[in-house]
Amino acid sequence: MKIGFDHKKYLEEQSKYILERVNNYDKLYLEFGGKLMYDLHAKRVLPGFDENAKIKLLHKLREKVEVIICVYAGDIERNKIRGDFGTTYDLEVFRLIDDLRSYDLDVNSVVITRYESQPSTKVFINKLERRGIKVYKHKTTKGYPTDVDTIVSDEGYGENPYVETTKPIVVVTGPGPGSGKLGTCLSQLYHEFRRGKKAGYSKFETFPVWNVPLKHPLNIAYEAATVDLKDVNMIDSFHFDAYNKVAVNYNRDIESFPLLKRIIEKITGKESIYKSPTDMGVNRVGFGIIDDEVVKEASKQEIIRRYFKTICEYKKGYVNKDTADRAKLIMEELNLKETDRRVVLPAREYAQNKKQLLNKNDAYSVVALELEDGKIVTGRKSEIMDASAAVILNAIKYLANIADNIHLLSPVILEPIINLKSKTLGIKQTSLNCEEILIALSICAATNPTTQVALEKLTCLKDCQAHSTTLISSNDEQTFRRLGIDVTCDPEFESEKLYYI
C-alpha cells in the first residue's frame, strides 16, 4: 500500500496545538467528533493514518486528560446501531469505556442527554451504576435553540447537574453523531464560570479537512461517509470575512456558529475569541499529508465503497431513496463508476458465467478479492461453504503456493460440523461461513503442516479489497473486518427468503 500520510508528524503537530490551546484556560472542554477509536474511514482515505491515532494522542497527554462520554437517550431507546461494527450504542459505550481504560485514560462519567425517563435508558443507567460508573442525566435545555437568555440561565444549562472534573483537558466524546457532546460542553462551561473558573471550548473534528480544497476527493469522501446526515462541505464564510483566507467546514457547524458564538459570549460575559467555526477547531490532520495523489486515489476508492454501502442499506430498508440517490450523485461528481473498484468486474463476470452454465436467473454468490501483488482470486458458494469462506481459502492457498487440487480441510473435520448444524442444532443453512471455516482450518493445522502454512498467510490479507455479487451475512462481514479486508456488495439478496442475518 502506498503511503500518503505521516502519522508521527501528525501526532507531534496535533499534541503541540492542543496544548497551546489549553494554555489559554484553567480548563478546556474538547469536543471530539467522529470516532475516538477504530477510525477506519480516516485510515482508508489517508493511507498511513493509524485508526487509533486519536486515542494514542490522548494517551500521550493522559496526565492532563479525563473523559466524559455522552449518549442520547433516544438512541438507547431505539437500539441505534453503529454501522461499521454492528453494535448498539449502549454496548458501544461499554466498549468505549474499556478501550479508554486500556490506554490508561480516566473515564469521569457518562452523561445521558435529552433524558426523559425512557424505560430502556433507565435499564442502561442501572447497568452503568452497578458497575461503578458515575451517570449524570441532562434533560432537554429549556429555550434551545432561540432563547439565549433562557438557555444561559438557571432554567437552562443551570438545570443540568455539574460534572465534577479535576484535569485541565476534559475530552467530551460519544458513540456517534447527535450524542449531545456540544450541549454537555456548553453546560459545563456555564457551571465553570458560575464557579469563577476560566474555562474554554474547542472542537476536534477530523473531517472535512479545513486546509485542503473544498472539492478535494478527501473532503468529498466525508460527504459520502455522512450521506445519511445530509452533511455538505462549504467554504467557511466567517473565516474568510475575518482573515481573508479560505477554509473548509460543513453546513451544520457554519449554520450553528452565530448561535454558538452568542451562547459562549453570554456565558463568559465578553466577546468570543473565535471569529469562525474553523477557529474553534484544533484539527491538524491536513499537515500530515505527504503525498496528495495517493490521498486523492484512496479517497476516490472510499467514495465508491460508501456508494455500495449506501445502496445495500437502501435495499435492506435502512435508508431512504434520497440518501441512495445522493450517494450516486457524489460518485458522478468525480466521474466515478462502480467498476473503478477493481474487484467488482471479476466477481460479476464469474457469477454471470456460472449463471449461464447453470441456466439460472437468480442471484449467484461470488466474492472476488484483490491481493497485495494485484492478483485477484475468487470464491463461489457451494454446499460446503459460502462464497466469503471460499475466497479466503483460495487466497491463502495462492499466497502459500499450494496447488488448487490440494485440500486444506479434511472431510473428517467438516462433516461433523455440518452434521452438528443440520441435525443437532436444526439450522437449515448448513454452508459454513468464514468464521466456521477458519476454526476448522485451525483444527486441521494441528496435524497438517500444509494447512498450517496456509493459515499463517491470513495476516497477509490485511488492507486487501473484496467485492461480493450478493449481500453477505453480518457474521462474514465482521470476519472480513477482523482480517482487515474492505468488502463491498452488490445490492442483491442471495435468495428469496425473507429471514436474512
pLDDT in tens, 99-137: 999 999 999 999 999 999 999 999 999 999 999 999 999
CA–CA gap between residue 10 and residue 12 (Å, rounded): 5
CA–CA gap between residue 330 and residue 307 (Å, rounded): 8
pLDDT at 172: 97
Q: Are 389 and 395 in contact (CB under 8 A)?
A: no
Q: Band the pLDDT of 260: cuts 50, 70, 90.
A: very high
Q: Band the pLDDT of 425: cuts 50, 70, 90.
A: confident
Catalogue all structural domains in the chain, each as residue range(s) with its CATH number: 7-213+237-288 (3.10.630.10), 342-489 (3.40.140.40)
Lowest mean pLDDT of 102-106, 358-362, 474-478, name the range: 358-362
Q: Band the pLDDT of 299: cuts 50, 70, 90.
A: very high
**For residue 316, how far is the Cα from the chain centroid?**
20
Averaged over 184-210, what is the pLDDT?
94
DSSP H or E run through 413: helix 411-419
Strands 376-380 and 248-250: unpaired
pLDDT at residue 197 tops 70 = yes
Rg (CA), the chain: 25
DSSP structural state of residue 280: H
Averaged over 178-201, what is the pLDDT?
94
pLDDT at residue 80 tops 90 = no
Averaged over 70-93, what is the pLDDT?
85
Q: Phi, psi at residue 262, to the nearest 5°?
A: -65, -40
Q: Tally Cβ neighbours within 10 Å of residue 149.
A: 10
pLDDT at residue 361 tops 80 = no
pLDDT at 500: 60
pLDDT at 36: 84
Q: Band the pLDDT of 38: cuts 50, 70, 90.
A: confident
CA–CA gap between residue 71 and residue 46 (Å, rounded): 28
Show the cell assigned to 35.
Answer: 470516532
- The answer for residues whose C-beta is within 8 angstroms of residue 52's C-beta and 6 or more apart is 37, 38, 39
The b-or-e profile of 263-281 (16+ CB within 10 A means b, else e) is bbeebbeeebebbbbbbbb
Averaged over 443-448, what is the pLDDT?
91
pTM: 0.91
pLDDT at 480: 96
Residue type, 148: V
